[in-house]
A = this chain, B = another copy of it.
Amino acid sequence: MNERKVILREDEMPRQWYNILADIAMNPPLGPDGNPVSPDQLAPVFPMNLIEQEVSSQRWIDIPEPVMDVLKIWRPSPLVRAVNLEKALGTPARIYFKNESLSPPGSHKPNTAVPQAYYNKVFGIKRITTETGAGQWGSALSFACAQFGLECKVFMVRVSFDQKPYRKSMMATWGGNCVPSPSMDTKAGRDALERDPNTPGSLGIAISEAIEAAVSDESGQTRYSLGSVLNHVMLHQTIIGLEAQKQMKKIGEYPDIIIGCAGGGSNFAGLAFPFVHDKINGKQIEIYPVEPAACPTLTKAPFVYDHGDTAKYTPLLPMHSLGHAFVPPPIHSGGLRYHGMAPTVSQLVDEGLITPRSVKQKEVFEAGILLARTEGIIPAPETNHALAAVVEEALKAKEEGKEKVILFNWSGHGLLDLTAYENYLAGNIKDIVLTDEEMAESEKIFANHPKPKSLKSR
């Protein structure tokens, strides 16, 4: 009898998140005056309990019981052996994935939406604003807000709003209110529409709108929530990797290679950070964040100080950035269309602890179709970026005749992204690669910003 999945019991779930800030040196976020941002300066944007978590350097942080209760709606997530993929590729590699597509919104995003809604609730907040790319994050936050009785307003990047009309209905079913961004509801939105009335929108613009909508509520009962990039978001996602470590241990395996797609970095970090901890402590692991060639933040853009949003409402963050005004091409992976990258992930790249790679749209969907027909689950287009790299590594292992153990993160399902598959099957998906000229142009915007220091954690 073959076991296909490694399942944890609910009482085996990790009870603490892993905080990578305990293990790596970081450049601080900088305010408008060029000095490090103080927690108080962030108070109009986030509740103080989450700000404390954002700056904490405590290695292990307890997961509150009410958060555990909601996570158990779908967690612990299975660790799956991709036996059919192995057979299809004829590889000696053993391939495993964490299936994060089983949450009600269909991705890993509620891993942080739930604690963020909880901490806001505890702090007395009534209403949360946010942005969303492909819609996974906005859906996750709407779901989490319904669990804790909070209102939720979502600014969704226009191109994805139009590509994925079901997302709005999904958020509405959970009680969330979703509008396309740029909108006329905020100054940031109106400015963006004035610059280009036909803009496809960007996460940078949508973040500006959501922050503005939060801080301009005079009742003081609204805060903003971000679905990626920030330290506390990466923290909440580490439950994925911590579960995976327990599951691999149960079957006596340990990964040689870790792979996750990277837009803002949270799904990659969620799986990878607990293994980065192992790597810092001596384990040999290759760790690959995978991004689209159309938005090559980690693979081509420099490590700089830049804003997280287009209207410059956020502090300057030390990260790989294509420039805060950069509007990525409208590829079918809205969740990866972000000009920047989590500072923690950027720092790890800068130190050489992880190795970014980029893939093009056609190989991405080719891998997605292969996985749908072998492992059964239709992957989100974002997940397909990880899958393309998995296939490449599995074939490399075959060529070299090595029994590599590959572990990747199946970040979400693609059931609300089926238009993209239809376009691919009809031959209407093109490879889009950002040119050096386009990049040089978009990066002028941070020429005068301070430079992050090159820090070594080891």
Chain A positions within 8 Å of B, measured between CB atoms, are 1-5, 7, 9-11, 65, 68-70, 72-74, 84, 102, 104, 106, 143, 146-147, 166, 168-170, 172-175, 369, 372-373, 375-378, 413-416, 418-419, 421-422, 425
Cross-interface CB contact of A169 among B65, B70, B419, cutoff 8 Å: B419
Asked if B4 contacts A169 (CB within 8 A), the reply is no
- Residue with the greatest number of chain B CB neighbours at <10 A, chosen from A372, A375, A418: A418
Q: Check A422/B172 contact, CB under 8 A, given A69-B4, A415-B415.
A: yes
Whole-angstrom CA separation of A325 from B2 in the bound complex: 47
Cross-interface CB contact of A372 among B7, B10, B174, cutoff 8 Å: B174
Q: Measured between C-beta atoms, what is the minimum distance from A202 to chain B in Å?
A: 25
Asked if A170 contacts B4 (CB within 8 A), the reply is no
Cross-interface CB contact of A10 among B5, B166, B369, B378, cutoff 8 Å: B5
Asked if A72 contacts B5 (CB within 8 A), the reply is yes
Whole-angstrom CA separation of A189 from B62 in the bound complex: 62
Chain B residues near A104 (CB-CB < 8 A): 376-378, 413
- Contacts A/B (CB < 8 Å), 5 sampled: A74-B376, A146-B372, A146-B376, A166-B166, A172-B425
Chain B residues near A166 (CB-CB < 8 A): 166, 415-416, 418-419
Whole-angstrom CA separation of A146 from B10 in the bound complex: 33
Whole-angstrom CA separation of A73 from B80 in the bound complex: 8
Chain B residues near A369 (CB-CB < 8 A): 173
Whole-angstrom CA separation of A245 from B272 in the bound complex: 39
Asked if A415 contacts B418 (CB within 8 A), the reply is no
Chain B residues near A106 (CB-CB < 8 A): 415
Asked if A2 contacts B69 (CB within 8 A), the reply is yes
